[in-house]
Amino acid sequence: MSGARVYFIGGGPGAADLLTLRGVRAIAVADVVVWGQSLVSEELVTEHARTTAELAPWPPLSAEGLLEVYDRARRNGLTVARVYGGDPTIYGWVHEEIASVTERGLPYEVVPGVTSMAAAAAAAGCILSGGMLILARREGWRPLPPGEHIRDYARHGTTMALYMASREPHELQRELTEGGYGPATPCVIVHRASWPDERILRCPLGELGDRIEADQLGHQTLVFVGPGAEGVATRG
């Protein structure tokens, strides 16, 4: 098992040049590189991986296939780079894979990455340091923990960054309103931050659901709501 190791790498929000130097080095030494195709560009992987490295995009790689990669790493002393979108510790579910590699006796390292929230805020000119910032996600294929609801967080009246925000946008608007935000509260919608097709939309909360729905924004949509969403500048 000599040399076997797993790197859980934050691949950044999408743009290939937003990968950290530590992430570059980890990919460059890997025998196998696994990445999620919906969140990580292929260019990011192919630019930095060795020509002899095995490239395993997910999909078509499955959860069972990933475990087989870890089994081979243990048997054959392989280094694996598992590349996540954004930062692996923020809605990346990396703890489940850490448990899998730990069970196999594989050493690992988590390499932080530029988050989609940071990229979205930079693109939209949002300043998030004025007070408390709440990160929350919409309920998707993984349920929210008990007691964690958008309307409860909204009662603080501070800036919120909402991941997975395109799911049931009118319901999201209703929850934020019930939590105490007024209909004029500023919102910024950022779709696919840092990708070539990035989109930035601004609207009051009272129009949030309609804007997301009308523009047919899907996966990789993040919404800022509250004081930090007012922004300081727009890019030319």
Map out the domains of the chain as residue ranges: 5-111, 116-230
Which of 198, 194, 196, 204 has the alpha carbon at shortest distance from 224?
A: 204
* Rounded Cα distance, 9 and 21, in Å: 11
Q: What is the pLDDT of residue 10?
A: 96
CA-based nearest residue to 169, from 230, 197, 123, 210:
210
Residue 217, pLDDT score: 87
Q: What is the tens place of the pLDDT at every residue in 47-76?
A: 999 999 999 999 999 999 999 999 999 999
pLDDT of residue 140: 62
Query: Residue length, the chain?
Result: 236
Give SS3 for 47.
helix
- Residue 142's pLDDT is 64
| Residue ranges of the chain with per-residue pLDDT less than 50 | 1-2, 236
pLDDT score, position 52: 96
CB 84 within 8 A of CB 9: yes
Q: How many CB atoms lie under 10 A from the CB of residue 65? A: 13
Side chain identity, residue 150: I
What is the model's pLDDT at position 224? 96
| pLDDT tens, position by position, 211-220 | 999 888 888 8
CATH C-level class of 5-111: alpha beta
Which stretches of 113-152 are assigned E, i.e. beta strand? 133-137
168: left (phi over 0), alpha (psi -120 to 50) or beta: left
The pLDDT assigned to 1 comes to 41
Query: Beta-strand (E) ranges in the chain?
Result: 5-10, 32-36, 54-58, 79-84, 108-111, 133-137, 159-163, 186-191, 199-204, 221-225
Mode of pairing for the β-strands spanning 108-111 and 54-58: unpaired
Superfamily designation of domain 116-230:
Tetrapyrrole methylase, C-terminal domain (3.30.950.10)
